[in-house]
Amino acid sequence: MIVAENLTKRYGSTTAVDDVSFTVRPGQVTGFLGPNGAGKSTTMRMIVGLDAPSAGRVSVGGHRYTQSRSPLTEVGVLLDAKAVHTGRSARVHLRAMAATHGIANTRVDEVIALTGLEAVAGKRAGKFSLGMGQRLGIAAALLGDPQTLILDEPVNGLDPEGVRWVRQLVRHLAGEGRTVLLSSHLMSEMSQTADHVIVLGRGRVIADAPLPDLVRAWTRNEVLVRTPRASDLAGALGSPDVTVTDAGDGGLLVAGVSARAIGDLAAERGIPLHELTPRTGSLEEAYMALTEGAVQYKTKEIA
C-alpha cells in the first residue's frame, strides 16, 4: 500500500505537486494519469525518496521508502529507463544490483527470461534500443520480487508485443495481491490495464476513482440509430432530457435514453430501424473532459 498525505513539492516558484493525498491499494493496478508536467514523475520520485517533499509525507508498506532495509525486495521501481544505460552488459548490471541485496544469480536469469532479454543479455546495455532499455528497467524492478511496483511509463518505446506483455504482467502481479502504480499517456492501453485511476492536473489530484466509475461520470452514453425516417424518430424522441444530433449518413446520435427504449418507441410508431448501436464512453474521452482545464501545454486544434 502506498499512502501519500498532503504531499507537496516546490521547485523555486513552481509547485510541481500541490497538497496531494491518495492511497494506492494492493491487489489492483492503479493508473497514474495526467497531462505533461502534471506532477506524476515528481510524485513517483518522492514515493521512492529520490526527491524530498517540501511538505507532507508518503509511505510504502507502512514506512518511508528511504527507511527500508531492503528496498529492492519491497518496491520495484522503473522511473527513468535511461538511468540504467551503462557500459556493462544487461546481465552484469542486474547481477551487480542483485549482489547489493543478496539476491541469487538464478533470479537474474529468471528476470532476463521473463522480460525477453535472453538474446541480448550479454550486450552492453548502453547500446540498447529504447524498448530493450525499457525491458531492462522492468527486469531491474522485478529483481527483488517486490510487493509494490512503481512503473513510470513502462510501455514507452515497447513494440505491440511488449505493450501486451507489460499489461499481462502487471495484471498478473496485481492478481497476486501486489500493489501496482503505473503511469502512461496511452489511454486505450490504460483502459485495458488499470482497475483504478488517479488523475493529476497542475500538481493536484483531480480524480481518484475506479476506472469504470470515472468513465461513467465523465462521458455520456449515446446510441447510434439509423433509420430511413430520421426526422420522425427525432420528433418522437423529443424530450428535454434527450438530445438528438445528426451523425451524418442518415444516422442519429441519441443521448439520454437507452437503446432498448429507442427500439420500443420505434416499434410502437412503426418506424423501421436499420441500426441501433449503444456507444459507451472511453477512458480517453473521460480523461479529455476531466483534464480540459488542467492541460499546461495546449496544442492547436487540427481542423
Ligand X SMILES: Nc1ncnc2c1ncn2[C@@H]1O[C@H](COP(=O)(O)OP(=O)(O)OP(=O)(O)O)[C@@H](O)[C@H]1O
Cell numbers at residue 301, please?
Answer: 486544434
36 near ligand X (CB under 6 A): yes
Which one among 2, 4, 16, 151 touches ligand X, defined by CB under 6 A?
16
Residue 214 or residue 237: which is nearer to ligand X going by CB? 214
31 near ligand X (CB under 6 A): no
82 near ligand X (CB under 6 A): no
13 near ligand X (CB under 6 A): no
* Nearest residue to 148 via CA among 234, 266, 276, 58: 58
Return the residue matching grid coordinates 479529455: 288
46 near ligand X (CB under 6 A): no
Number of residues engaging ligand X in binding (CB under 6 A): 11
Return the residue matching grid coordinates 528511504: 66
Q: How many whole angstroms separate alpha carbon 188 and alpha carbon 112?
A: 28
| Contact (CB, 8 A) for 55 and 42 | no
CB of 7 to ligand X, least distance (A): 12
| Contact (CB, 8 A) for 117 and 158 | no
Helix, strand, coil percentages, rounded to 5, for the chain: 40, 30, 35
| Contact (CB, 8 A) for 228 and 248 | no
184 near ligand X (CB under 6 A): no
Residue 34 or residue 154: which is nearer to ligand X going by CB? 34
Residue 179 or residue 291: which is nearer to ligand X going by CB? 291
Q: How many whole angstroms separate alpha carbon 286 and alpha carbon 290?
A: 6
39 near ligand X (CB under 6 A): yes
40 near ligand X (CB under 6 A): yes
Q: Give 157-186 as a DSSP string.
A: T--HHHHHHHHHHHHHHHHTT-EEEEE-S-
Which one among 37, 53, 146, 154 touches ligand X, defined by CB under 6 A?
37
41 near ligand X (CB under 6 A): yes
4 near ligand X (CB under 6 A): no
53 near ligand X (CB under 6 A): no
179 near ligand X (CB under 6 A): no
Cell numbers at residue 263, please?
Answer: 427500439
CB of 69 to ligand X, least distance (A): 28
Task: Tell me which residues touch ligand X (CB under 6 A).
Answer: 11, 14, 16, 34, 36-42
